[in-house]
Chains A and B, each alone.
Chain A
Amino acid sequence: MTALVELTGVSKFYGNIKALQDVSLQVHPGEISCVLGDNGAGKSTLIKIIAGLHQHDAGTFAVEGEERRLASPREALDLGIATVYQDLAVVPLMPVWRNFFLGSEPTRGTGPFKRLDVDTMRRTTRSEMLRMGIDLRDVDQPIGTLSGGERQCVAIARAVHFGAKVLVLDEPTAALGVKQSGVVLKYVAAARDAGLGVVLITHNPHHAHLVGDRFVLLKRGTMAGSHTKDEISLDELTRQMAGGSELEQLSHELERAPAPDLSRDGGSRG
C-alpha cells in the first residue's frame, strides 16, 4: 500500500541554518503519525513543507506515490492535505459559519447574481459540528467567542467536511486544559476512523501515545528516532522525547539542590 504522504530524507535550509535535515515520515490512511520534538526541533518547518508554505531543499516528498513540490497552501489543499494551525486556524471576529466555509464558499446563481449560499452554509456548519459532537448555540457567534478546543474542532470538522485525505494538526492540544485536550484528541481519533491519514505535531508524549500509530522524534532539526506503536512504550517515548540522558542529568541536579524550607514561609503568612 502506498502511503498518503511520504517524506524521505527531507532537508530544509534557511540561508546557512539547517532547519531540518534528513527527516523521513510516512502517513497512511486510517493512521495517526505523531511528530514529537521540543521547541526549535523543526516541527514547524516540517509541517510548513507538508502544507505547501515552504519547499524542501533536499530529499523527496511524495503524495500518494507521486513526487511533489508544493508551491502554495492551495495546491496542498487540492491534493487533499489540510493543515490546522494552532493559533491561526480561524478568523476570530467572523461568525462560525463564515469561518467554516472560508476559502471554499458554496455559491448559487450566476453572473452578477452569484451569491453565497447562506442557508446551506449555516445548516451545514450546524450539522457538521453536531456530527462531531459539538452542539453550537448559535452559528452566528464570532468564532473568537468559542473555547480553544472548540475552535480546533471547527477547523478539524472543516477539513473533514471538505474531503481532506491527510489532516495535519499543529499542536492542537498545546494551549488547552486536560478536558479540552481530551475532546480534541477524540476528534482526531474520529478523523482517523473516518479513514484520514493524520499528522499530529505535539510536544506532549502522553497525548501522542494515546492516539498515535507511528512516532517520529525530532531533535535540533534532525530525526532522533522513528518508531511504531508496538515498538515503544509511553515511558520510553517520554524518556526519548525529554532528551533521555539530559533528563537524567536534570534529575540529578534537582536532587542535589537543597530543599527550600516551605514550612517557615507558609507559617509567617498564615
Chain B
Amino acid sequence: MTATAKAPAEPADERLLHTSLLRRLMGRPELGAVVGAVAVFVFFSFAADSFLQVSSLSTVLYAASTIGIMAVPVALLMIGGEFDLSTGVMVTSSALVSSMFSYQMTANVWVGVGVSLLVTLAIGFFNGFMLVRTKLPSFIITLGTFLMLTGLNLGFTKLISGGVGTKTIGDMEGFDSARAVFASRFVVGDADVRVTVLWWLGLVALATWILLRTRAGNWIFASGGGANAARAVGVPVDRTKIGLYMGVAFAAWVAGQHLLFEYDSVQSGEGVGNEFLYIIAAVIGGCLMTGGYGSAIGSAVGALIFGMTSKGIVYAQWDPDWFKFFLGAMLLLATLLNAWVRKRAEATK
C-alpha cells in the first residue's frame, strides 16, 4: 500500500477491478480463523452468562497464551513445510532441566534457566539436523524425539529426584525474579493480566516481522512452498529448517520456564498431547498442512479460539469432557472454512 503511494508513476491497472477491502481481506490466511473466533465468542457470550466478565476474559486470555506461545513457532515451522511432534514434552523437558539443574548444581535458579535454554535449543537443533541429514519425514524424526524425551523426562526425574515430580525450588536464590519474568501477573484496569500474554504477543509480533519483512521470512515461505526451487536460486533451505526447529525450542523454553515458575516444581509426565494443540492452533489459524502458506497472527487467533472454547465450556457449566469433541469439530470446521476461503481468494485474483 505504501509502495503504490510512493510510486505515482505506477498507474492502477485498468484490468484490475476495484479491489474492495473485503476482497483484500479474503486473501489473508487469517480470515477463516477470525471468522471462527468471532463465532465462538458470540456463541459463548450467549451460552455462558459469566463469559463476558472481565475476570473470565482474562482467564481465557491466559489459557490462549499458554498454547499461543508455542503455536507461533509451530506455525512458522509448518509454513516451512515441517512438523514437530516433540513440542509438548519438550516444554516439560525444558522445565525439568532448569528445575533439576538448579536444585542439584547451584544455588541460583537463573543458572538452571540458562542451562535449560542451551539444552532445549540443542534438542531443537537435533530435530532439524536429523531432518536435513537423513531426509526422513519430520513426522518420523520428531515422533522419535517425542518418545525419547518422554522417556528421558520420567527416567531422569526418578533417578535424580526419586519421584515423578521435581523437588521445590521455591526457596532458592533468584526464584522471585525468575517468577517475575516467566509467571507474574499485573493489573490493567479491572483485568488481571498474566505475563505469558506479553510473551505471546511479543512472539507473534516478532514472528510476523520475520515472516513478512526479512530475508529469513522469504526463505521460510520458499522452503515450505517449493524447496527445490528455493535451493536452485541459492536459498539455504537446510539452515532455514534447522533455524525453525530451534525457534520452536526457544518457545518451548519460554513455556517450560512458565510451567516451572508458575508453581515451584514440575511433574515429569506432563505435556504429552499438547503438541497437537499447538498444531491445531496453527492449522485453525490458516497454516497449510503442506507448507508454504500461513501466518503467525493466524496461529494467535487459533490459540484464542482454543482458550475461549476450553474456558467457555467451563463457564457454560457443561461437563469439560465435551471439550475435546468441540476442539475436534472446530479443527474440521476451520480447515474446511480455510480451504473454501482460499479457493475463493485465489479465484478472485
Contact = CB atoms under 8 A, between A and B. Distances in A.
Judge: A and B partners, yes or no: yes
Interface in B212-254: 213-215, 217-219, 221-222, 225-226, 228-235
A90 B229 contact: yes
A116 B213 contact: yes
A104 B3 CA distance: 20
Contacts of B3: 118-119, 122-123
B230 A123 contact: no
B234 A114 contact: no
A141 B234 contact: no
B228 A88 contact: yes
A54 interface: no
Contacts of B133: none
Interface string A72-113: 011001000001010011111110001001111101000000
A88 B214 contact: no
Interface string A110-131: 0000111011001100100000
Contact of B349 (A103, A135, A145): A145
Interface string B4-17: 00110010010110
A126 B346 CA distance: 21
Nearest to A114: B214
A73 B226 contact: no
Interface in B293-329: 293
A89 B226 CA distance: 9
A94 B215 contact: no
B225 A103 contact: no
Contacts of B209: 115
Given A93-B292, A123-B10, A137-B13, A74 B222 contact: no
A126 B10 contact: yes
Given A103-B230, A137-B15, A137-B16, A118 B213 contact: yes
A179 B71 CA distance: 47
Contacts of B225: 91-94
Contact of A105 (B10, B13, B215, B349): B215
Contact of A91 (B213, B217, B221): B221
A114 B16 CA distance: 33
A73 B232 CA distance: 6
A73 B225 CA distance: 19
B2 interface: yes
Given A74-B234, A105-B215, A137-B13, A94 B7 contact: no
B215 A116 contact: yes
Nearest to B2: A119
Chain B contact-residue range equals 20 to 34
A103 B213 contact: no
Contacts of A153: none
B295 to A, nearest CB: 13
B20 to A, nearest CB: 14
A29 interface: no
Nearest to A126: B10
A123 B7 CA distance: 8
A64 to B, nearest CB: 20
A188 interface: no
A142 interface: yes
Contacts of A105: 215, 218
A93 B226 CA distance: 9
A67 interface: no
Interface of B: 2-3, 6-7, 10, 13, 15-16, 209, 213-215, 217-219, 221-222, 225-226, 228-235, 288, 292-293, 346, 349
12 contacts: A85-B232, A88-B232, A90-B226, A91-B221, A91-B229, A92-B225, A94-B218, A102-B233, A102-B235, A119-B2, A119-B7, A145-B349
Interface of A: 51, 53, 73-74, 77, 83, 85, 88-94, 98, 101-105, 107, 114-116, 118-119, 122-123, 126, 135, 137-138, 141-142, 145, 158
Given A101-B218, A104-B233, 20 more contacts: A73-B234, A83-B232, A85-B229, A89-B229, A89-B232, A91-B226, A91-B229, A92-B292, A102-B222, A103-B222, A105-B215, A116-B213, A116-B214, A118-B2, A119-B6, A122-B3, A123-B10, A142-B346, A145-B346, A145-B349
